[in-house]
Amino acid sequence: MIPAERLAAIESAREGDPFAILGPHALGTGTVVRAFIPDAQRVAVVDARGGVLAQGERVGTAGFFEALVAELPRRYRLRVESAGGTRTIDDPYRFGPLLGELDVWLFAQGNHLDLYRVLGAHVDEIDGVAGTRFAVWAPNATRVSAVGDWNAWDGRVHAMRLRREVGVWELFIPAVGPGARYKYELLGPHGNLLPLRADPFAFASERRPGNASVVTAPPAHAWNDEAWMALRAAKQRRDAPIHIYEVHLGSWKRVPEENDRFLTYGELAAQLIPYVADLGFTHIELLPVTEHPFDLSWGYQTTGWFAPTSRFGGPDDFRAFVDAAHAAGIGVILDWIPGHFPTDAHSLGNFDGTPLYEHADAREGFHREWGTYVFNLGRIEVANFLVASALYWLREFHIDGLRVDAVASILYRDYSRKEGEWIPNKYGGRENLEAVAFLQRLNATAYGEVPGIATFAEESTAWPGVTAPTDVGGLGFGYKWNMGWMHDTLRFLERDPLFRGHHLNEISFGLIYAFSENFVLPLSHDEVVHGKRSLLGRMPGAEYQQFASLRLLYALMWAHPGKKLLFAGGEFAQRGEWRAEASLDWHLLHGRHRGVQQLVKDLNRLGRAHGALHERDCEPAGFEWIAYDDARNGVVSFIRWDAARDGHVVCVCNFSGARHDGYQLGVPRSGSYVELLNTDAQAYGGSNLGNRGSVTATDRAAHGRPYSVSVTLPPLSTLWLTP
């Protein structure tokens, strides 16, 4: 007979070891089968054909039954009679442990690279029985139950087994299949009932405002990107053209005729991908599509590190989107957030009643600026969780690159903290040594496990070696956003053209460090929100001058060393700030706006066609000043060389509002130079002032060179010349 205190624990959902009570247990005279089914009136143990082996005896008053069976077959079932009728079920407590010894050992070491295949909810078949196996890490909980649609969210019904050696709770639940909504119900270390938790390893979530996890079927998408995958490593090297279109899927375009709904992943594949391909971009970067509860967080308040947001469709729909991008020759970069997580009650915070994923001390574990928790990256299980997430997206969705958000907030213990609000490292410094080790491990693992991928760091400080290899002490990223270039260049161009000549150092200074890292030049979403105005709106002067300065900026950017990134809407000079809750202003796409779009298309085409504009983006030998100090005319000029130092492109920028005729420009060679690009061309919305397509270099010396060309420089313009 079951002890009274254990019966009470089962009935009140406080039993931490349900397998010690429920399921089959050998007795001297046979096997006793115990079941707890709250709505049951009668329970019988039956064989696979439905033959009754023993009738259960009710114990207590809450649905607990036990039956003694003389010879219990391996596969028995339970026939349950209740007010709703009779049903026959498989007993979840007859199945053995789920995690294998190797899984346990790897997770205990913090080095399980396939962790997402073990934890979470997985449709499976065990001993001929179809169902779903659940596993969740919650080492300090005293009881964990899987609750969902199938058990009326009743935490008494499916209490889980604790694997004490790793703190993982597990249970195989027969007959639960794809589409079932679920969460975990936990009792904390003191027996306190916690808010229901979404599965940290959920592969899908229900659409907001709901936040339950959803059991998903194994992937059914058949990939067709073998050709892309074979070539992508070459497309992401330092010498390749990388032109990135950054986009927020929820606001790129909506369907106003249908209550302004989002486009689906399928509709985005049919509309966004061809648009990006036509513009000539090589990559598309998605603001986070990891699941998140709040639209206006733009995805940066992640609650699902393994779940594509359900706003636009299911996991296979997202796979098809990536496949469509690859078919169009476009790589996909995903914004990924390992630095912090939100305080939503269903998320990771205080997950098992203790600070499990976050630091316990708020001086380490809470971001005051963002109101979010900070991952405890020094805890091996937490680092394993995040590395597994990165690998999941790279492997299972064929993602080509991860852009790691807010790296500075990870690296510095005093990030956005006042004196007394942070804890120094063991040497007394501000560097987060555990975070450094994590980022090195992340990059080394990602590059080692998934050939051809690239990682990008949004790192806003002068931390050394962000893109240096980990074996020489670097962080191991492939590329780093050049925030200094962005800030200096935008500050410069916001100045009245009359005064720009006195501040040319804001353009030239960036070349002092331009080759210290593998840089991406970003004009991202962060530069067109929160009162900063759009890129067009930041340019001074009358409307025609604003457009001219923006065209100048883009041509300077595409000629400058570094890979390129432009946020959606910038390609047609969106006038207003970006609004995450509405479509881009597509109605503007005419006149000068259409001209800017054509310029971006040509910049991408020329940038990809001319090796001088990309092959040595990360090498000082690919860049050479002509003049960076012509303050009188407000002109800057330089040369970009290709890898063989044979082909070159001359870039000359007139930042002033004045036209310069007969401007003498030193060049490396004699002969004819083609006007490869002129941002004042009529096709781009300019006045069509230029050099009639070409100029001829003579042996007249200029800028310390034996040859020069005499060019007409339109006001607020950039010219590209090539032999």
Strand-strand pairing, 77-82 and 40-46: antiparallel
Strand stretches in 563-722, DSSP E: 563-567, 623-630, 635-641, 648-654, 660-667, 671-678, 694-697, 707-713, 717-722
Amino acid identity of residue 581, one-letter, is E
589-601 as b/e: b if 16+ CB within 10 A: eeebbbbbbbbbe
What order do you get walking across the sheet with 30-36 strand by strand? 23-27, 30-36, 64-69, 57-59
Q: At what angle do helices 543-559 and 591-609 cross, to 10 degrees?
A: 10
C-alpha atoms less than 13 angstroms from C-alpha of 358 in its C-beta half-sphere: 25
Is 120 in contact with 80 (CB distance < 8 Å)? no
Strand-strand pairing, 563-567 and 519-523: parallel
Is 617 in contact with 624 (CB distance < 8 Å)? no
Q: How far apart are CA 148 and CA 625, in angstroms?
A: 65
Q: How far apart are CA 489 and CA 507, in angstroms?
A: 6
Among the listed residues 458, 488, 571, 630, the single catalytic one is 458
DSSP, collapsed to helix, strand or coil, labels residue 276 as helix
DSSP 494-558: TS-TTTGGGGTHHHHGGGGTTTSS-EEEEE-GGGGSTTS--HHHHS-SSHHHHHHHHHHHHHHHH
Is 717 in contact with 678 (CB distance < 8 Å)? yes
13 DSSP assignment: T
Burial class of residue 497 in the structure, from the number of CB atoms within 10 Å of its CB (0-12 exposed, 13-18 middle, 19+ buried): buried
90 labelled catalytic? no
Non-local CB neighbours of 445 within 8 Å, separated by 6+ positions: 113, 387, 390, 391
CA distance to 29, 571, 572, 606, 691, per residue, from 682 (Å)? 96, 17, 16, 18, 13
DSSP, collapsed to helix, strand or coil, labels residue 715 as coil
Among the listed residues 317, 323, 364, 405, the single catalytic one is 405
For residue 128 the two structure tokens come to 């001929």
396 labelled catalytic? no
Active site residues: 405, 458
